[in-house]
Structure 1
């Protein structure tokens, strides 16, 4: 053994394996996602690779740390309080329920819990698309108390995603009206979905496509095809990850860096 230690850690949402000297000082780190070993000094390269040997999962590049891209610099300088990337699906609802849970006897009837279930279901699918190059933000606050449920940024472009609870219910879409269940009144929900996408487009100065996701719907009937809005069930959300030809990886990262900054939305 060469006395080096390998210490796993999370930095900016990504796992890294740091190689440390006995005194605790770091001399290298292994970035799994980039398949790269970053060396702070070339004199101990062989020892670093020996220490990392059990953790390497395939061919890796080795060298000094790469210069950060503009997107990485923006992310590194972002204050934690302004960073929206850690938001969980339904973050605003989670906070509201925690502050005011309401009477225990009414929990099942509380519409916030159903809305939270829908946002979680959709958010989990979107998060799984990270391997396809899609970066996702959840529960983006907008001025006036509104929010965007999810924002997906990937090779296929930008999507403002609005989730609606529709478990085991039939849904009828007649633009701009959406009716969930047989006994409920129709609501002009598609206007809200389009308006959210327009606000995101204005903030990021990029084209944004509106998406309505009917979480758990048993059947969806479209009587009047919606203008511009893509209507999906939560089982169809992964289709967004298969689209491409719009944004390059660097563009995705740059837009994600801009979108995760709370101040970007405060200017609306």
Structure 2
């Protein structure tokens, strides 16, 4: 028996490795820019929670990463999409990258509602989670009407977006919610 891969399997494996690498780099790029938020903010990676998501193999543009940002401004479910060199058009709920429509806004909302449900169940009180869609890459982002109930930003603007909400919860509450998020069961 041969352990050699067929050409189609080899291409699938290489593509999956490429998408996984882009996912890792995009998440790290957005995550690294949040150092300026301060000690009262807690960043919880999806992989540290029971809320981790599987990425869609049918997505031609690949990488999406995500994390929860919990701080005085509230709780945010950040979905990071790698746009690469392509221009992004956002018009309401529609996101178009390189001529292809992608369902990133719907995915960001699902991530936020899943996080809100899990946090609310464990905390015993209603926890509001805001959906955020952040793009990494060097292409331009043009918006013609932002989607309702989802914030859109680039990775360079993400820290300003998260702090623009003011102080809605205390630093102690933020720390407790971050601990709950890390302890959520899958």
C-alpha distance after superposition, 1:207-266 (max 9, x if no partner): 010000000242111134211111110100111135432010111111111111142xx2
Q: 2:69 aligns with which of 152, 159, 174?
A: 152
Matched, 1:216 2:131: no
The answer for the alignment partner of 1:190 in structure 2 is: 105
TM-score (norm 2): 0.74
Matched, 1:233 2:116: no
The answer for the alignment partner of 1:81 in structure 2 is: none
Gap change, CA 1:233 and 1:172, over 3 Å in 2? same
Cα deviation for residue 116 of structure 1 reads 1.8
Gap change, CA 1:178 and 1:141, over 3 Å in 2? farther
Secondary structure of 2:102 counterpart? coil
Secondary structure of 1:228 counterpart? coil
Q: 2:94 aligns with which of 177, 182, 204?
A: 177
Matched, 1:161 2:78: yes
The runs of 5 or more residues in structure 2 that have no matched partner are 1-9, 56-63, 121-126
Gap change, CA 1:171 and 1:120, over 3 Å in 2? same
Q: How many residues are aligned here? A: 159
Say whether the 8 Å CA contact 1:171–1:181 is kept in structure 2.
yes
The runs of 5 or more residues in structure 1 that have no matched partner are 1-101
Query: Root-mean-square deviation (CA), in Å?
Result: 2.7
Secondary structure of 1:186 counterpart? strand
The aligned runs of 1:7-156 (5 Å cut-off) are 106=14, 110-126=18-34, 128-129=35-36, 131-139=38-46, 140-142=49-51, 145=54, 149-156=66-73
TM-score (norm 1): 0.53
The answer for the alignment partner of 1:256 in structure 2 is: 178
Secondary structure of 2:144 counterpart? strand
Q: Distance in 2 between matches of 1:148 and 1:199?
A: 15
